[in-house]
Structure 1
Amino acid sequence: MSTIAVTGAASGIGAAVCQHLEAAGHTLIRVDLRNADVNADLSSAKGRKAAVEQTLAACDNRLDAVVACAGVGVTAPSVGLIIGVNYFGVTEYLEGLETALANSGNGKAVIIGSVAGSHMVAQPHPMTAAMLEGDEARSRQIAEELGDPAAAYAASKYAVTVFGRRKSVAWGKQGMRLNVIAPGAVETPLHQASKEDARFGEAVKNFVAPMGRAGVPDEIADGVDFLLSDQSAFVNGSVLFIDGGMDAMVRAHTF
């Protein structure tokens, strides 16, 4: 079976993804801050480098897939941390593993984005532009000056989705695939923390999908299963919304 690296593996969506993949017989390389096969801090360049090096050592430079689940929300200790983990923690980790994925012959990756990323303003914010230019210091600086965790979260998820779609073009030419899942509200510890937050709790509780409930991690993991399977062999550069209709509710005419 395949060897698959999963970031953010210790809880929430990442833990559900690991349960699904392990049940299917895949070999996993779990990546998280602690209690994982690779313990690393994806919020810093040093931590990302360590995560890449340890993952490469664990897979002997041949990797079948990556699922980038690691992320932080609006309750993160700092606004800059949101940028560091949600964008650079994904992009630098994936880029560091490109050769190992190519060595498998048909490497695949799934980025866990967010429905919030599709709701960014029509003209990307300078914070987003800085991320897409690879300027971490500048994007963190803009985020800290703005001081709006919700804007930083949405911008980071928008930027990482753009990154994934751009990267999928080059990957496709090598027989590789990269797709993004955009969950809506999902019952995870991260979502619970947002609901309990004094600043954002009421808005989070009131933003309910047309289906009348939040998702559960297994429903997102089902989407990952599909995107890593042969059933999705011609799916590349796509954004799969698993959000109970949230995106359609907010922007039915934009897709």
Structure 2
Amino acid sequence: MTVVVTGSASGIGAATSNALRAAGSEVVGVDLRDADIIADLSSSEGAQSAVDAVLDRCGGVLDGVVLCAGLGPHVPDPRLIIAVNYHGTVALLDGLFPALQKGANPAAVVVSSVASTHVTWDENPIAAGGEDAALAAAGEYGGALAYAWSKNAVTVNVRKRAAEWAGAGVRLNTVAPGSIDTPLLQGGLDDPRFGEAIRNFTAPIPRRGTPDEIASLILYLLGPQAGFVHGAQFMIDGGVDALTRPTKF
């Protein structure tokens, strides 16, 4: 398999890249640093340059895509969070779709978040293009809102593609991690606005997850054993979603 992984330099992306290589796959990593392809996914130009570089490197044929690149709520500019987590992810998803159609048993996995359930699509200002006004009114906690909105929006847009992608023979799913020991989580822990809440919240399984645990689910979803799994979001959060929303699934 030839698989492209964004956010490959650290956290879940690095763990997934290592697991794929250990399983015999060729991995094309995309990140701001320490990657096969250096790209900034916060702009349409940066996302397009990443797509072009990936297609050139793989000869226009991919067997798998894993979109891990993302920013956490502690990032000072909340608009940047939406730009990378939502717009950049969707741009790569659509830009690499033709190459996936030429692959063998192709599949894609997008890393969302348990935060994607913190807002409904009907309430999400991204749905109506009103995120700038909503962020202007949000104050210092705009990053947390932008993070939830962006992950909700990317999950919805994955699900909206389920029919088209299945018709083209490409499977597409999301995984929704909870608190995972990554540099992104550490950034939140170090932030005076969010750190205490993150530290004090305990999942039913009373620990944080590891990047390797997320990677194992991603590899399953890419593989033939998940051949009838499509358009789904998989919570991997130690039970957080079940704790907070037991009647909503």
Aligned to 2:212, what secondary structure does the other structure show? helix
Specify whether residues 195 and 155 from structure 1 end up closer, same or farther in structure 2 by C-alpha distance, changes over 3 A only: same
Task: State the aligned residue count.
Answer: 247
Q: 1:223 aligns with which of 217, 223, 226?
A: 217
In structure 2, what is the equivalent of residue 98 of structure 1?
A: 97
Pairwise CA distance, 1:93: 0.7
- Normalising by the residue count of structure 1, what TM-score does the alignment of the two structures yield? 0.93
Q: Is the 8 A contact 2:114 2:177 kept in 1?
A: yes
Pairwise CA distance, 1:139: 3.6
Which stretches in structure 1 are left out of the alignment for 5+ residues? 131-137
Q: Structure 1 vs Structure 2: percent identity of aligned residues? A: 47
One-letter code aligned to 1:221: A
Asked if 1:146 corresponds to 2:138, the answer is yes
In structure 2, what is the equivalent of residue 179 of structure 1?
A: 173
Paired residues for 1:35-184 under 5 Å: 35-121=34-120, 123-130=122-129, 139-140=131-132, 142-147=134-139, 148-184=142-178
Pairwise CA distance, 1:206: 1.5
One-letter code aligned to 2:74: T
Report the Cα distance in structure 2 between the residues aligned to 1:128 and 1:9, rounded to whole angstroms. 29
Aligned to 1:70, what secondary structure does the other structure show? coil
Q: Is the 8 A contact 1:3 1:26 kept in 2?
A: yes
In structure 2, what is the equivalent of residue 243 of structure 1?
A: 237
Specify whether residues 60 and 141 from structure 1 end up closer, same or farther in structure 2 by C-alpha distance, changes over 3 A only: farther
Q: Is the 8 A contact 1:117 1:156 kept in 2?
A: yes
Report the Cα distance in structure 1 between the residues aligned to 2:131 and 2:43, rounded to whole angstroms. 14
> Please, what is the CA RMSD of the aligned residues?
1.4
Report the Cα distance in structure 2 between the residues aligned to 1:29 and 1:164, rounded to whole angstroms. 22
Report the Cα distance in structure 2 between the residues aligned to 1:86 and 1:128, rounded to whole angstroms. 15
Pairwise CA distance, 1:143: 3.1
Paired residues for 1:171-210 under 5 Å: 171-210=165-204
Q: Which has the higher mean CA deviation after the structures are superposed, 207-216 or 48-57?
A: 207-216
Q: Is the 8 A contact 1:10 1:32 kept in 2?
A: yes
Specify whether residues 99 and 22 from structure 1 end up closer, same or farther in structure 2 by C-alpha distance, changes over 3 A only: same
Pairwise CA distance, 1:241: 0.6
Specify whether residues 21 and 252 from structure 1 end up closer, same or farther in structure 2 by C-alpha distance, changes over 3 A only: same
Aligned to 1:67, what secondary structure does the other structure show? strand
- Normalising by the residue count of structure 2, what TM-score does the alignment of the two structures yield? 0.95
Paired residues for 1:8-27 under 5 Å: 8-27=7-26
Q: Which has the higher mean CA deviation after the structures are superposed, 114-123 or 178-187?
A: 114-123
Report the Cα distance in structure 1 between the residues aligned to 2:118 and 2:69, rounded to whole angstroms. 21
Which stretches in structure 2 are left out of the alignment for 5+ residues? none
Pairwise CA distance, 1:128: 3.8
Aligned to 2:122, what secondary structure does the other structure show? coil
Report the Cα distance in structure 1 between the residues aligned to 2:137 and 2:40, rounded to whole angstroms. 24
Pairwise CA distance, 1:75: 1.3
